[in-house]
Amino acid sequence: MAKLQIFTYEFNYINQLEEGSMFKEIENVDVRNSRARKQEILNDYLQYMSDKNLPFVKGKKQYQQIVVWQEDGIWDLRIANNKKQKIEHEFIQKRIPDNPSCAVLIDNRKGVQTIAIQKLSTSFSTPNSLAKIMMETLNQYLVKKRLRINIAPRYDPHDFWDVVNNHPYKIKMVHFQFPFPNLPVISDMIGNIINTADDMNGAPQLSWLANEDEVLTPRQDSDLLNRCVEACAAIGSVIKVKLTDGTNVKCGDGGSQEREINDFALSQEADELFVKRYEMIIAFLDKINLNNTIGNV
């Protein structure tokens, strides 16, 4: 079985440019149009990268990619690292190119916005490191459309409750931050918190701070608190907890949600079994689709 780490990606909109912005050419871009077409814009650029055989890029390093297949907003990619391997032949040591790859599944169907990255340490040290490479590459283009993308690793809500249970009567503050805009399924959960975010052009935050000489007592039967925890876990937004001794704990930092898929589904052979592999990937993506799982992220 192949193990994949699960990510959610969100789009931010560049509404107000900073003075002296280096992207003056985007001033005339209609941000409302980009907002409406954000997933279409991403899909078009992924197609452009495929057609032109463009690599992902971070800094001065390039990471080649191939598209195994794509259909209806779903992309099955292989992205290769750019390494050097030391070998020795006849007492002579030399370094040769080494480009191990891993699978990346992108579900860009409307309102889904999920990425699953194969955990394969021989290719990339962590899926998070590859997510950052993808994010930097995509943002170099998206910023021209007054968009930015953030790819964050999901985690399980129990990560927060584990912190609460491990530090009874020692929690001084709990802090949540919600990217805006959110996926519809997330906005439905916390809409009363973020309904003014668009007017303010920023990301809403919510904090609980204990009164002086007192501590917080987070309870799992609190509807609002549970919705905040589930929303943050689903979109990979870290929850910050401050303890009475001044220690700061970041719940969900680095992500923890992983799922398995049969190795056969990630095979790249173009044969009569392709349809079977395609169906297995679709079923896998449906199981991690927040629209189907938000109550159990």
Q: Looking at this protein, which amino acid is placed at residue 121?
A: S
pLDDT at 20: 55
48-82 confidence digits (pLDDT tens):
999 999 999 998 899 999 999 899 999 999 999 97
| Confidence band for 190, pLDDT divided at 50, 70 and 90 | confident
Quick one: 232 and 92 in the same domain?
no
Quick one: 93 and 232 in the same domain?
no
pLDDT at 287: 94
Quick one: 146 and 165 in the same domain?
no
Of 19-28, 29-38, 48-57, 137-146, least confident by mean pLDDT is 19-28
Question: In this structure, how many other beta carbons lie within 10 angstroms of the beta carbon of residue 105?
Answer: 23
pLDDT at 24: 67
First to last CA, the chain: 21
DSSP 215: -
DSSP 118: E
Q: Looking at this protein, which amino acid is placed at residue 4?
A: L
Quick one: 142 and 287 in the same domain?
yes
Quick one: 272 and 126 in the same domain?
yes
Quick one: 96 and 133 in the same domain?
yes
Backbone angles phi, psi at 57, to 5 degrees: -135, 135
Q: Which helix (H) or strand (E) holds 137?
A: helix 127-142
Quick one: 48 and 188 in the same domain?
no
Is residue 72, in this structure, part of any structural domain at all?
yes
- Tell me if residue 36 falls in helix, strand or coil: helix
- Please check the confidence at residue 295 and state whether its pLDDT lies above 80: no
- The CA-atom distances, in angstroms, between 285 and each of 45, 236, 276 are 21, 17, 14
CA angle 104, 105, 106 (to 5 degrees): 115
- Percentage above 70 pLDDT, the chain: 87
195-248 confidence digits (pLDDT tens):
555 555 667 788 899 998 899 989 888 888 998 999 999 999 999 999 999 999
Domains identified in the chain, total number: 2
| Confidence band for 297, pLDDT divided at 50, 70 and 90 | very low
Is residue 32, in this structure, part of any structural domain at all?
yes
Quick one: 37 and 132 in the same domain?
yes
Quick one: 35 and 134 in the same domain?
yes
Who has greater pLDDT, 89 or 127?
Answer: 127
Domain that holds residue 62: 2-154+257-292
Is residue 277, in this structure, part of any structural domain at all?
yes
Quick one: 130 and 266 in the same domain?
yes
Quick one: 25 and 108 in the same domain?
yes
Q: Looking at this protein, which amino acid is placed at residue 99?
A: N
- Please check the confidence at residue 106 and state whether its pLDDT lies above 80: yes
Is residue 105, in this structure, part of any structural domain at all?
yes
Quick one: 235 and 263 in the same domain?
no
| Whole-structure pTM value | 0.87
DSSP 119: -
CA-to-CA distance for 34 and 144, rounded, in angstroms? 10
Is residue 297, in this structure, part of any structural domain at all?
no
The per-residue b/e assignment along 39-53, b for 16 or more CB within 10 angstroms, e otherwise, is bebbbebbeebeeee
pLDDT at 191: 66
Beta-strand ranges (E) seen in the chain are 2-13, 56-58, 61-63, 65-71, 74-80, 83-89, 92-98, 101-107, 114-118, 147-153, 171-177, 205-209, 239-243, 248-251, 258-261
